[in-house]
Amino acid sequence: MRSGRVLIVEDQPNFRKGLVKMLHSGDLGWQVVGEAGNGQDALALLEELQPDLVLTDIRMPIMDGIEFVGHLRKNYPDMIVIILTGFKNFEYAQAAVRLGALDILIKPCTEDDVRQIMNKASERFYEKYAQQQKQLLQKQLQQDQELRAVLLDLPYEMSILPGLNQALSGKELWFMHMNNEDLANKSNGKRDMSLLQFAFSNIVEELVKGAGLEARLLLVEHDTFLLVAEWHQVDETLQDGIPTASFEYLKIRTSLVSMGLAPPVIDLAQLYLLTKEAISDPIRLPTLRGNEVGSGIMLSLNQAKVREMEVQLMSAILVGQEDSLLVLLNRVIHELSLTSPEEMRLGALSLSIALHGTIQKQFDPDDQNSLARLPNEMPQNQWTPKEVLDWAQEQVKHFLLQFNQWQASKSDNVVERAIKYIEEHYNEECRLTDVAAHIHLNPSYFSVVFKKATGESFTRFVTRVRMDKAALLLRNTDMKIFEIACAIGFDEPNYFTNVFKQQFQMSPKEYRSSK
């Protein structure tokens, strides 16, 4: 999941620089993508930077924050906005509400004030992100239905052709056919077929992702998939890997044939039919024919469930909401218990794949095994609903065990290593993301672990280390104030002086005199 992008609009350079440093540290989960000193300059940056959040002052020269947000809302009605102001009064609160601001941040503000309001923004951002993903999947589902209708020569509206032609422009099409004899041996009808289709689609998608490709997989018929990829991007390794993994995991032989560069959409049905006839199986399953569109829709919906579940799991982990994680998993298991046996098996497999995917992405990002997110087994057609639920609960238990072990292993010496790194690099930029990368830990989770262990946020800890070093230099050297600021990692002496005052309740000059 990507980090949220922030644009800071503030005419006071020191305050703006302080916000940028705090957000750049990474422990708040946001990335500063731009700065502006007034609303007019900020408007020019919106389209170029595409931020998810705007932090804007109200009182600024040329164009103030009220006018700026008014213009912003015309083109970006849903953008998250936080108002910055040094004036705590009713009119500004009214203006913020009228402009749809998420909250107001009163200046001067403490680090805890900023942290609290940015956590609130994170929750809103993850909600929006999940909704955007859902809308994107719905749009893809609609286009999948249209493409399937074209391939099978079913009735369709001519108005869909321009959109499909654009989506397929410059793409290579790959015909994937599962051996019907193997399918007949593995399935007992439509219910088992859905499970096999779902498992096979996940195998292909993971291998494609592992190869670093952006590709699209579509179930066309019960035994046939279409892979849409960039031209000449499906190399021999992937061409061999898909059939190998299909047989290894599912015991189903699979044929993979290039259909070449995508032709105009009106010629797709003929190309599909010719390819199908060229590699057709002698054994068919006629009882499963006639509802290919419905099967494809169900597969797309199941894939969507996996992605949605991963977003929810990762959101809970990234914002440090362990309780929310448990509530989410308990709710999923409960909802699973209310479904039909077929839906229960598919739902349990979807949950397992999402859990394995989260383990790989969050807990073990160095694992290069493309199929690491697939469970070793999947629910069997002869299992009772209780056996399926027990299996799903075991998957959840395994996930929570991995989660707890990950927390424990990373917490054992991670803070000690982090502090050592800070002590050695405090005079550099020393961002949270740098330290997290050094100790091989997710930045958001590292932030939570570090604060639990030290009682301070990462930013506050680094600042305290720097101020202690500055105090040491003030007491024991004749270095000038700006030299000390530079020596401990501050580019701006005035900003250093302000931070030092907050720590010691006196200026650096006063501190030196008192000692």
Longest dimension (CA), the chain: 94
Helix (H, G, I), strand (E, B) or coil at 456: coil
Q: Summarize pLDDT for 192-219 with one digit per residue, the tens.
A: 788 888 888 888 988 998 888 889 999 9
Q: What is the rounded CA–CA span in Å between residue 183 and residue 36?
A: 61
DSSP class of residue 359 equals: I
Q: What is the rounded CA–CA span in Å between residue 162 and residue 148?
A: 16
Instruction: Using pLDDT thresholds of 50, 70 and 90, give the confidence band for residue 182.
Output: confident
Average pLDDT, the chain: 81
- For residue 13, give Cα distances in angstroms to 20, 59, 293, 465, 488: 10, 14, 59, 24, 20
Instruction: Using pLDDT thresholds of 50, 70 and 90, give the confidence band for residue 283.
Output: very low
Identify the sign of the CA torsion 309, 121, 35, 17: negative
Which is higher by pLDDT, 202 or 296? 202
Q: What is the pLDDT of residue 466?
A: 92
- For residue 108, give Cα distances in angstroms to 30, 111, 114, 176: 21, 10, 10, 62
Q: What is the pLDDT of residue 291?
A: 46
Q: What is the pLDDT of residue 53?
A: 93
Residue 252 pLDDT greater than 80, yes or no: yes
Q: What is the rounded CA–CA span in Å between residue 353 and residue 68?
A: 45
- The 10 Å Cβ neighbour count of residue 113 is 13
Instruction: Using pLDDT thresholds of 50, 70 and 90, give the confidence band for residue 412.
Output: low
Q: What is the rounded CA–CA span in Å between residue 55 and residue 72?
A: 12
Instruction: Using pLDDT thresholds of 50, 70 and 90, give the confidence band for residue 319.
Output: low
Q: Summarize pLDDT for 444-479 with one digit per residue, the tens.
A: 778 878 888 888 888 889 999 999 999 988 888 888
Residue 419 pLDDT greater than 50, yes or no: yes
Which is higher by pLDDT, 8 or 309? 8
Instruction: Using pLDDT thresholds of 50, 70 and 90, give the confidence band for residue 374.
Output: low
Which is higher by pLDDT, 143 or 442? 143
Tokens of 59: 């009182």
Residue 121's H or E segment, with its range, is helix 111-151
Q: What is the rounded CA–CA span in Å between residue 402 and residue 363?
A: 8
Residue 284 pLDDT greater than 50, yes or no: no
110-124, 370-384, 454-468: segment of lowest average pLDDT = 370-384
**Cβ-proximal residues to 264 (8 Å cutoff; 6+ apart), any chain:** 165
Which is higher by pLDDT, 164 or 369? 164
Residue type for 292, please?
E
